[in-house]
Structure 1
């Protein structure tokens, strides 16, 4: 969503072709796109999978953060759901159970989308993947961001004090990644990630020079991948903009514990079903009963 909202905000600055070129580099469709993507109609709700991936040389990588957004232009509402990385889920591409963040290592974006679709029983229409290691480049490209740290902590030699502060990309990456010192664990980390994303969007909308935009587009081009085309981004910006004014953020409660020799965040069938139907309502889909994951081992 970072790239979508920043890019959509650039259209009034006469740099359409530069933006179009960058979007073309970021574009990578899913095999199932033609069967799932709704027609762009002002009344059709959509879902977007936001994926922050930890990719390093010689390593396929795993998803470091996962957020599902459902956007309904009729009700003018957006729902954001953060999925804890340790959530126990059925990994579609491997036909087995594991932590949901392993879905990317096994099946890439395609496998992750399939796993999320099965876990929540909703279609994933679009995705935006951000390379977390290059996340700092995007923050630096907008001139840094303002955050309000709820407590002081140190991660990998970088100290972040409590309170309001302006931070650069390197510090922002640590701020968005830390979870072991957070009293709320992964839930606290998810909240900080959403804070940084919101601030990137804000700072990106304040840029005034073409040089700044070129730096930002270069950072996005290197670190973002999506199945959204330029025309689709423009259509979303025009038709779904009002829904961004009313954003509801949801968390997925569960129990932490060992299953075999692996620690999981285990979500009950009742919780998963209730969440699924909330999202299905947002997407104008009928309620359905979910297959009980807890009975499958």
Structure 2
């Protein structure tokens, strides 16, 4: 009797072990597929630039900055950066500050020696001139950039399965109607949602808020467990529509050492006044307001000068 029980026990141990082995092989194959898709996407996304850059040691959890540019690229035209968002990331404070700069902000375009709309910097000199100009405007180092093709941004929203945002005001943009309150958006709807500006009493500031909502929605949805099964679509959408000078190894270090900061994003507002210069509409930022924002971002980065 005991011998039979021992045989049955050994049989079940073998079956259990075999099942566990199959699970390990399946998980390993899945992780390898995820890793391969991710590295392929990052290789496609990676676009280094010729520009002096600080050395950031992510393993030491040093604060850093990133410039996000939303660009409407058309064939034969590099376009303008109609979305300009600066992120300061401080893992010791477990926080990220997100500042939108109005695209019509009147400032010096570094490298041209002229005053113009800040979004013209990208049109004149690409990512490098945009980074130099924003760096000068905020008086903080700009370490990294993320350039997003806004036409392709809808692919990213669709890849994560759509997003949910809290809409402050009811409006219609094109063929899309957006009621007030919590709404679900697919890619085409999200693009229309962030592009509306003329109907908003806050003008470009309201548009910037919707842009930040959509970006946060994508980050939140993309990080959820439910998106794991969609990784291939997500990586493919990112690879085709995002360019950055952040390398794969740096992304791994950021994910490992900075992920808690991403859960605490504070949105900053830059006050500006609309005005016409030479018949052209601009957003003018006072010296006091510029210094206020500079100080807040410097404090967050731990910059004392």
User: Counterpart of 2:270?
Assistant: 252
User: Counterpart of 2:207?
Assistant: 189
The TM-score, its normalising length taken from structure 2, stands at 0.85
Aligned length: 276
> Which residue, out of 272, 281, 296, partners 2:290?
272
Q: Deviations over 1:119-142 (max 9, x none)?
A: 111111111110001011111111
Partners of 1:26 and 1:95 in 2: how far apart?
Answer: 31
Partners of 1:203 and 1:13 in 2: how far apart?
Answer: 22
Between stretches 153-162 and 165-174, larger displacement belongs to 153-162
Q: Closer, same or farther in 2 for the Cα pair 1:76/1:212, shift >3 Å?
A: closer
3-state SS in 1 of match to 2:223? helix
Between stretches 248-257 and 237-246, larger displacement belongs to 237-246
User: Counterpart of 1:84?
Assistant: 102
User: Counterpart of 1:22?
Assistant: 41
Between stretches 109-118 and 254-263, larger displacement belongs to 254-263
3-state SS in 2 of match to 1:48? strand
User: Counterpart of 1:204?
Assistant: 222
3-state SS in 1 of match to 2:142? coil
User: Counterpart of 1:239?
Assistant: 257
8 Å CA contact 1:93–1:106 kept in 2: the answer is: no
Compare the two structures and name the one with the higher helix fraction.
2
Q: Deviations over 1:148-202 (max 9, x none)?
A: 2222222223222223222211111000111111111111111111111111122
Between stretches 160-169 and 85-94, larger displacement belongs to 160-169
Q: How big is the alpha-carbon RMSD for the aligned residues of Structure 1 and Structure 2?
A: 1.9
User: Counterpart of 1:293?
Assistant: none
Instruction: Give, in angstroms, the shift of residue 16 of structure 1.
Output: 1.2
> Which residue, out of 100, 110, 120, partners 2:138?
120
Q: Closer, same or farther in 2 for the Cα pair 1:145/1:43, shift >3 Å?
A: closer
Partners of 2:111 and 2:174 in 1: how far apart?
Answer: 34
Instruction: Give, in angstroms, the shift of residue 242 of structure 1.
Output: 2.2
| Unmatched tracts of structure 1, length 5 or more | 1-10, 288-297
Instruction: Give, in angstroms, the shift of residue 12 of structure 1.
Output: 7.0
User: Counterpart of 1:138?
Assistant: 156
Q: Closer, same or farther in 2 for the Cα pair 1:110/1:129, shift >3 Å?
A: same
| Unmatched tracts of structure 2, length 5 or more | 1-29
User: Counterpart of 1:3?
Assistant: none
Instruction: Give, in angstroms, the shift of residue 205 of structure 1.
Output: 2.5
Q: What are the residue-to-residue correspondences of 1:1-297 with 2, within 5 Å?
A: 15-33=34-52, 35-206=53-224, 208=226, 212-287=230-305
Q: Closer, same or farther in 2 for the Cα pair 1:183/1:209, shift >3 Å?
A: closer
3-state SS in 1 of match to 2:148? strand
